[in-house]
Structure 1
């Protein structure tokens, strides 16, 4: 090997070696689980490249990063499907077996591709692949290290998220028994937590660690997937024959896009954490404090009105640590956006019209496009991971299809409408069919009670603070594009206008317009649910604007690149520079929130580890022994009675930490999932009767009715029932299998 090649190889190895060593130093004993997950994702991604390489054949990296998520989606969904239709049991063996079979099929596909002369591995762009792997590892490591400073699955809705995982870890069937409603199955979008459990079983790791690892894994992907997509868009816009400093632009813009989606905040931080305190300081006034959740609770809270809303974004989610449906789904929505761009590239380079194709072949090719079929599968999966994303991205998909058919069918209205309708119907039908095992068991009637006109509206300055920066940059980009294209007389028909726009420009416009639409919809209508009183628009605004933020992040960075580098108007260039400065300023939210939530992360001695249940030792010292006893000794799904309580409270700590179902859990959550308040209130009364009644026969009948195996008496039970707690009666119902004499906590195994 020549000296220059040896030097280059060494220079490539050094950053990887540094990152590996740094991970061992920072994560300490948790590093083995971290490495296991990283290597698992790497192996799965490589195994899926024969398929992913075809889907993204026109990407420089052939979808290398997207292959990780593609593999997880295929193996995880197939396992879930086979378990849900009762063909297989949900065990680690099943997860491994399905993954191995999928890998074998992928190898067979690879051999076929080799015979056909198709290369699915991006050998010509290994430098890009290597850079992507380094960046993914770095951001995955960064978020994992931060998580170790605040690992507790306690607070906000973490009991629900962690409890879902524990329930599925011990269940051999899906959906698992609802840990807070022992007479029913989980009736919610549990797909996100399922994928966390699937990867936990597949990797042989512990759920106590992977609760946090899953959210940091998604956070790493939330950086690198936008990087890859926008890198390709910029590369396509610049063309292949670029030289000098412009060769760095795809990587720089991709990096900024990854930051915009996963790390940046919004202008609320700039205005309320920086500008206003600075003005107050100049005036000699008391300086306002800033708490990072304020950026997500602004409309309805400042000023305080009866229109409380939610407008979260990924960085806030990654810091807070809830493993919600919309958080895990980030990696899947980024995959579908990339698939749509890959499909647009395919359509733009492949002319399929009736003039050059027989009718039967025409429809076969229109309806069997791999990217659209893959998108249909993902959209179907969204019913189960986060239903709102199905509605949002089905609309986005149909919009992309319509635009590309206007171009592909050369402006012929009849065929534009026919092909668009056929493809939209095909996607809807496929998406509906593949998810039937979930939808046939799922009751959403209480979660969606119709659509209503918005009675409240955001103040103009609030919309400007939250969405002004990306909206203004998007609008400036679109206007500049229209002015540029409409100067040419022949572009004044819609078909010619769209055809004249380069593909990355067109995709950025689609994402930008969709994002603007998602911001505006809650100002017009909202989905009615149980939160009508004072929070009517909250959930609608939350779910729609979360996706708007993701699409805005990529569009905004692309728009800055377009206006600043390719555009010629000096005013627009100046505005793009201002936009870039403001964007960089919003990234200060990351530092503010990390310090506020995780503390002094530069002190490695403060690292607590990833164990999501370690907080039990300090916060629930009275109960921790009993909870550990249940986890160690109860392997099946058996009902454990504990006191019920309000949502977001310390109640249900036993069911949440063990996954063992109880009669009734968090009140508002079960109200949302079940809708039957009479039934919920009756069960609450039954729980109280078991703990406090002096009627032995009645208590026994209730224990039998609910098939209760264990009765837990600890801190929450003593707090709720006080002197009414009938300890003697409870102990007479069976055998005391655990007792803590210091705290008076005990567990009774019912006869």
Structure 2
């Protein structure tokens, strides 16, 4: 090897070494867990490359960044499936064995691919793979460092998210016992928290740390995966080019796409956090500071009206720190979008080759494409990770199929509809069958009560503030594309129009139109649920526009590239540049929210660590020792009674932090999951009876009915029941196995 080549390789290694050193400096004692988690994902991604390389064969990087998620999805889902059908137990050992079996199967596939002469490992574009890995590591490190300034699994729905993880860590069967309803199993989309537990078991780390690592891991992927997808789209659109600045465009656009999906805010920050305060300052008026959650609680709140809605987006989720269904599913959603683009590339390549085939070969090819089958499997998994995403992306998948079939079947209506219907049916059947172990025991009757026409509507200026920027850029892109293709065209049929559009343009159009549709749907209809009074559209708007934001994020950046670089209309170039300016401005939301929530992150000395339960020392000093005694000394999942409380409150701190089930937990959550208010109200009264009654026989009867093994008496119990709390009777029911040395907190083990 030439000396200059050696020098070049050394310089390439320097950024990686600097990132590793920086991680050790910033994360302090947590760095070993961070490295372990990162290396686990890296090794799993390498092991899955034969499969990913086949699915993404026409990508420059062969789907390298998607391989991590592919490995997690395949091995994690297979483990869950085998546990759910009671073939294996959910233990660390079985997680490792199933993962190794998947890796072995991938190796066999690699050997077969090599014999067939296919290249499924990205040897050709190692520079791109290396750059993607650096970007992912940097994004993962950035969010992990921030998380260490506010690591507490406390507030919003974090008790639920963390409690689900602790409950599954204890359980050898799935679904685990509902930690807030000891007589039943978890009846919610627990797939996201399951994958966090699956990786926790594989890594051998503690759930106190991996709760935060899972959310920062997703945040890192939410940057790297859009980079990979949009990088490929821009590369495909540019084709071969000798220009140095054009060679840099895929990387620049990819980075902007990663920022757009994972870091940027919306125009609410620009309008209400920058422009309006600036005008008020000029007028000499007092200006209040901008509170970053306002960007997600705008329609219904400003002005204050009856129709309260939610319109969150990834950056807000990553800052807030929830590990909820829609957050973890981001990485699987991005994998699906990558698969759809890879599938469309494959279909378009076959269509351009004009190969002839028999009818049997035709249908085999249409229905047995690996990308389509993989998309169907992912859609099935969405039932369990976040059902809303199944509905949304089934429509997106069918849209992709329709577009490609209009082109592939040359506009012949019967063939277009026939092939599209067959592919949609295939995907739906596959998605339904593979998730049956979940859906057969999952009761949605109370969560979904039908669909109704929207009685309230967002004000036009509110829609413009939230989604005007990506929406307008998308419309400008689509209109310019239509004008470009229809001008001077001899035949103006839908087939000839779609056939004339380059694939990356077509994919961007698909994502943009779907995103616009998701924004408009809550203005027309909503899904009825228990929040109908005053918050009728909230959940519908939340789940639909969250995915719209992700698709808009990539479409908007691609549209700016397309209008600025490829387009020739000077007015559109100016508008695209203005759009880019405002997009960059929305990124200020990231800095504002990070400072508001995490504090002075530029001071590493204030880093607190990743332990999600450390807040117990300061927020629950009376209970912390008792909670830790339970976690350290109690195996399996016996019922531990604690006082119940309202959702989002400090109640259920024992069950949430230990995963040990209690009789009744957060009221509104169990109302949503169970629907039987009479049953829930009866349980509340009986819990009160246990803590306050002087009738020993009745108390023993209730404890036996609910199979209670331990009674926890701490701060919440004393606050709720006050002087009515019958300590003497409670202590007489068994052995006091824990008594705090400083506070009157104790735990009784029932005889």
Give the TM-score of the pair, scaled to structure 1: 0.99
Indicate the residue corresponding to 1:377 in structure 2.
Answer: 377
Matches within 5 A, 1:389-408: 389-408=389-408
Separation in structure 2 between the aligned mates of residue 613 and residue 242 of structure 1, nearest angstrom:
55
Residue pair 1:300, 1:307 contacting (<8 A) in 2 also:
yes
Separation in structure 2 between the aligned mates of residue 488 and residue 229 of structure 1, nearest angstrom:
32
Separation in structure 2 between the aligned mates of residue 491 and residue 265 of structure 1, nearest angstrom:
42
TM superposition shift of 1:108:
0.9
Residue pair 2:69, 2:335 contacting (<8 A) in 1 also:
yes
Separation in structure 1 between the aligned mates of residue 718 and residue 414 of structure 2, nearest angstrom:
72
1:580 equivalenced with 2:601 (yes/no):
no
Indicate the residue corresponding to 1:488 in structure 2.
Answer: 488
TM superposition shift of 1:355:
8.9
1:299 equivalenced with 2:299 (yes/no):
yes
Indicate the residue corresponding to 1:203 in structure 2.
Answer: 203
Give the unaligned 5+ runs of structure 1: none
Separation in structure 2 between the aligned mates of residue 352 and residue 622 of structure 1, nearest angstrom:
71
Matches within 5 A, 1:652-667: 652-667=652-667
Residue pair 1:353, 1:362 contacting (<8 A) in 2 also:
no
Separation in structure 2 between the aligned mates of residue 375 and residue 665 of structure 1, nearest angstrom:
37
1:430 equivalenced with 2:433 (yes/no):
no
Indicate the residue corresponding to 1:699 in structure 2.
Answer: 699
Residue pair 2:226, 2:254 contacting (<8 A) in 1 also:
yes
Matches within 5 A, 1:193-342: 193-342=193-342
> For 1:530-582, what per-residue CA distance to the aligned partner results, in whole angstroms no more than 9, with x for missing partners?
00110000000000000000000000000000000010010000000000000
Separation in structure 1 between the aligned mates of residue 678 and residue 519 of structure 2, nearest angstrom:
37
Indicate the residue corresponding to 2:676 in structure 1.
Answer: 676
> For 1:350-395, what per-residue CA distance to the aligned partner results, in whole angstroms no more than 9, with x for missing partners?
1399992111111111110000000000000000000000000000
Separation in structure 2 between the aligned mates of residue 278 and residue 99 of structure 1, nearest angstrom:
55
DSSP-derived class of the 2:419 partner: helix
DSSP-derived class of the 1:131 partner: helix
Separation in structure 2 between the aligned mates of residue 314 and residue 435 of structure 1, nearest angstrom:
26
Indicate the residue corresponding to 1:536 in structure 2.
Answer: 536
Separation in structure 1 between the aligned mates of residue 450 and residue 52 of structure 2, nearest angstrom:
39
**How has the CA–CA distance of structure 1 residues 84 and 613 changed in structure 2, closer, same or farther, with 3 Å as cutoff?**
same
Residue pair 2:564, 2:573 contacting (<8 A) in 1 also:
yes
TM superposition shift of 1:490:
2.6
DSSP-derived class of the 2:610 partner: coil
Separation in structure 1 between the aligned mates of residue 73 and residue 682 of structure 2, nearest angstrom:
40
TM superposition shift of 1:286:
1.1
TM superposition shift of 1:475:
0.3
Indicate the residue corresponding to 1:162 in structure 2.
Answer: 162
Indicate the residue corresponding to 2:647 in structure 1.
Answer: 647
> For 1:117-138, what per-residue CA distance to the aligned partner results, in whole angstroms no more than 9, with x for missing partners?
1111111100000000000000
Separation in structure 2 between the aligned mates of residue 19 and residue 491 of structure 1, nearest angstrom:
55
Indicate the residue corresponding to 2:555 in structure 1.
Answer: 555
Residue pair 1:166, 1:658 contacting (<8 A) in 2 also:
yes
Separation in structure 1 between the aligned mates of residue 575 and residue 672 of structure 2, nearest angstrom:
46
TM superposition shift of 1:716:
0.1
Separation in structure 2 between the aligned mates of residue 199 and residue 122 of structure 1, nearest angstrom:
25
Separation in structure 1 between the aligned mates of residue 288 and residue 142 of structure 2, nearest angstrom:
30
Separation in structure 2 between the aligned mates of residue 106 and residue 54 of structure 1, nearest angstrom:
11
Separation in structure 1 between the aligned mates of residue 30 and residue 224 of structure 2, nearest angstrom:
23
Residue pair 1:341, 1:507 contacting (<8 A) in 2 also:
yes
1:460 equivalenced with 2:465 (yes/no):
no
Separation in structure 2 between the aligned mates of residue 140 and residue 182 of structure 1, nearest angstrom:
36
Separation in structure 1 between the aligned mates of residue 719 and residue 712 of structure 2, nearest angstrom:
13
Residue pair 1:449, 1:528 contacting (<8 A) in 2 also:
yes
Indicate the residue corresponding to 1:686 in structure 2.
Answer: 686
**How has the CA–CA distance of structure 1 residues 623 and 508 changed in structure 2, closer, same or farther, with 3 Å as cutoff?**
same
DSSP-derived class of the 1:609 partner: coil
Indicate the residue corresponding to 2:17 in structure 1.
Answer: 17
> For 1:281-340, what per-residue CA distance to the aligned partner results, in whole angstroms no more than 9, with x for missing partners?
000011132100000000000000000000000000000000000000000000000000
DSSP-derived class of the 2:345 partner: helix
Residue pair 2:241, 2:247 contacting (<8 A) in 1 also:
no
Indicate the residue corresponding to 2:521 in structure 1.
Answer: 521
1:497 equivalenced with 2:490 (yes/no):
no
Report the more deviating stretch, 736-745 or 238-247: 238-247
**How has the CA–CA distance of structure 1 residues 735 and 65 changed in structure 2, closer, same or farther, with 3 Å as cutoff?**
same
Separation in structure 1 between the aligned mates of residue 287 and residue 313 of structure 2, nearest angstrom:
26
Separation in structure 2 between the aligned mates of residue 354 and residue 19 of structure 1, nearest angstrom:
48
Indicate the residue corresponding to 2:54 in structure 1.
Answer: 54
> For 1:486-538, what per-residue CA distance to the aligned partner results, in whole angstroms no more than 9, with x for missing partners?
01323411000000000000000000000000000000000000001100000
TM superposition shift of 1:185:
0.1
Separation in structure 1 between the aligned mates of residue 352 and residue 512 of structure 2, nearest angstrom:
28
Residue pair 2:146, 2:601 contacting (<8 A) in 1 also:
yes
Residue pair 1:622, 1:715 contacting (<8 A) in 2 also:
yes
Indicate the residue corresponding to 1:545 in structure 2.
Answer: 545
Give the unaligned 5+ runs of structure 2: none
Runs of 4+ in 1 over 6 A off after TM superposition: 352-355
DSSP-derived class of the 1:526 partner: strand
Residue pair 1:353, 1:409 contacting (<8 A) in 2 also:
no
Report the more deviating stretch, 646-655 or 288-297: 288-297
Residue pair 1:190, 1:384 contacting (<8 A) in 2 also:
yes
> For 1:602-622, what per-residue CA distance to the aligned partner results, in whole angstroms no more than 9, with x for missing partners?
000100000000000110010
Q: How many residues align?
A: 751
Separation in structure 1 between the aligned mates of residue 536 and residue 170 of structure 2, nearest angstrom:
37
> For 1:222-269, what per-residue CA distance to the aligned partner results, in whole angstroms no more than 9, with x for missing partners?
000000000000000000234221000000000000000000000000
DSSP-derived class of the 1:452 partner: strand
Separation in structure 1 between the aligned mates of residue 635 and residue 613 of structure 2, nearest angstrom:
18
Residue pair 2:169, 2:197 contacting (<8 A) in 1 also:
yes
DSSP-derived class of the 1:123 partner: coil
DSSP-derived class of the 1:625 partner: helix
DSSP-derived class of the 2:735 partner: strand
Residue pair 1:354, 1:362 contacting (<8 A) in 2 also:
no
Residue pair 1:490, 1:496 contacting (<8 A) in 2 also:
no
> For 1:406-436, what per-residue CA distance to the aligned partner results, in whole angstroms no more than 9, with x for missing partners?
0001111111111101000000000000000
- RMSD of the TM alignment (CA)? 0.9
Indicate the residue corresponding to 1:512 in structure 2.
Answer: 512
Separation in structure 2 between the aligned mates of residue 342 and residue 520 of structure 1, nearest angstrom:
28
Separation in structure 2 between the aligned mates of residue 289 and residue 164 of structure 1, nearest angstrom:
36
TM superposition shift of 1:113:
1.1
Indicate the residue corresponding to 1:31 in structure 2.
Answer: 31
Separation in structure 2 between the aligned mates of residue 116 and residue 364 of structure 1, nearest angstrom:
20
> For 1:21-70, what per-residue CA distance to the aligned partner results, in whole angstroms no more than 9, with x for missing partners?
00000000000010001101110001001010000000000000000000
DSSP-derived class of the 2:614 partner: coil
Residue pair 1:640, 1:660 contacting (<8 A) in 2 also:
yes
Separation in structure 2 between the aligned mates of residue 538 and residue 491 of structure 1, nearest angstrom:
45
Separation in structure 1 between the aligned mates of residue 741 and residue 167 of structure 2, nearest angstrom:
29
Report the more deviating stretch, 287-296 or 151-160: 287-296
**How has the CA–CA distance of structure 1 residues 542 and 242 changed in structure 2, closer, same or farther, with 3 Å as cutoff?**
farther
DSSP-derived class of the 1:372 partner: helix
Separation in structure 2 between the aligned mates of residue 390 and residue 107 of structure 1, nearest angstrom:
31
DSSP-derived class of the 2:712 partner: strand
